[in-house]
Each structure stands twice: as C-alpha cells, then as structure tokens.
C-alpha cells in the first residue's frame, strides 16, 4: 500500500474525495500534520465534484480540485502537475479478466523496472487507460501510483 507521508497527492477521478480524507487520516495517525500533503484532484460529475469540495472543506482539508468539474481523460485540469502519490479508483468499463485488479506503477520506469505491474488477476480497460494517462503526472524518480479496480456488482446474478 502507498504511504503518503508528505508531498503531492493526486486523484484523477476523485469522486467525493474519500481517498483524500483517508490520506489525511493516514498522515495524522503517523504523527504528521494537516498540510503535510498537498491535494489535487478532478471529477467529471458536477454534483459529485461539489460534494468532494464540501467533504474536504468540512474537514478543513485544502485541495485543488480545479475551477470546475471536468473529465480527466478529455480535459486535464492539472496538466503540469507532478505528483508524488496518485491514488485512484477509475470508473468501470467492460472487464477484461475476472476478480479484483490492483495496479502499481513506479515513475522512472526502464526495461529492468517495468512501467506497470498488475498485482492480481484481471483488469479493466478503464484501469489500463488510467495507468497510461497518469504516468506523465508522476514525479520522478520516486512517484508512486495505486489504482484500485473492482468489477461491477451484478445484482441478481447467481
């Protein structure tokens, strides 16, 4: 798991900001202070974007979620950001494999150190696209990325 003690934390599909809240809690639980990490994010749904801003504001977490909602895949509001940590749960699309997938990426990849490693079996196209999209946003040489991808729940399936 990633341990964002200090630095820039980015979620390109932040939803209501839950990853940011957990990151701040992690910092505080490990003798850090509010503000040891800088929060950057983006959300495409206008209602969810407003909820994220409210969620962070009531917890006194300063964040840059962009001046408006926007889809990171089509309109990146943080094109020059180089994040130390990228945490994301990308939106689901069609599943390629079965089971949960969790991907880890390390900045400054080379032939001896692959760009991305799929940790568990299965993936989705959204996870792969998100990996390709966030790679340039990682700071080098120590930037880290964790993408969490769970297959869609199928209600009524046996």
The number of domains in the chain is 1
Residue 144 is assigned to a structural domain of this protein? yes
pLDDT values of the chain reduced to their tens digit, one per residue, 158 residues: 577 788 899 998 899 999 899 888 888 888 888 788 999 999 999 999 999 999 999 999 999 999 999 988 788 899 888 988 888 877 664 433 333 334 444 444 433 333 444 434 445 565 666 666 676 677 766 777 776 766 554 434 43
Q: Percent of the chain beyond pLDDT 70?
A: 61
In the 8-state DSSP scheme, what is residue 124? B
Owning domain of residue 85? 7-149
CATH code of the domain in which 145 resides: 3.40.50.150
The DSSP-derived string for 47-104 is HHHHHHHHHHHHTT--EE--SS---TTT--S-TT--BSEEEE-PPP--BSSSS-EEEE
pLDDT tens sequence across 72-106: 878 889 988 898 888 887 766 443 333 333 444 44
Q: Are 127 and 96 spatial neighbours (Cβ–Cβ below 8 Å)?
A: no
């Amino acid at each position: 798991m990633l341990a964002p003690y200090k630095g820039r934390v980015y979620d390109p599909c932040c939803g209501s900001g839950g990853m940011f809240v957990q990151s701040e809690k992690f910092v505080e639980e490990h003798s850090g202070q509010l503000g040891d990490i800088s929060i950057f994010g983006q959300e495409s749904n206008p209602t969810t974007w407003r909820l994220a801003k409210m969620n962070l504001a009531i917890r006194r977490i300063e964040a840059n979620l962009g001046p408006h909602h926007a889809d990171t895949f089509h309109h990146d509001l943080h094109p020059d950001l180089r994040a130390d940590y990228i945490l994301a749960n990308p939106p689901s699309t069609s599943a390629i494999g079965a089971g949960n997938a969790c991907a880890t990426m390390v900045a400054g990849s080379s032939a001896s150190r692959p760009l991305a490693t799929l940790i568990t079996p299965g993936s989705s196209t959204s996870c792969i696209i998100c990996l390709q999209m966030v790679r340039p946003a990682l700071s080098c040489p120590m930037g880290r990325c964790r993408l969490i991808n769970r297959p869609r729940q199928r209600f009524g399936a046996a």
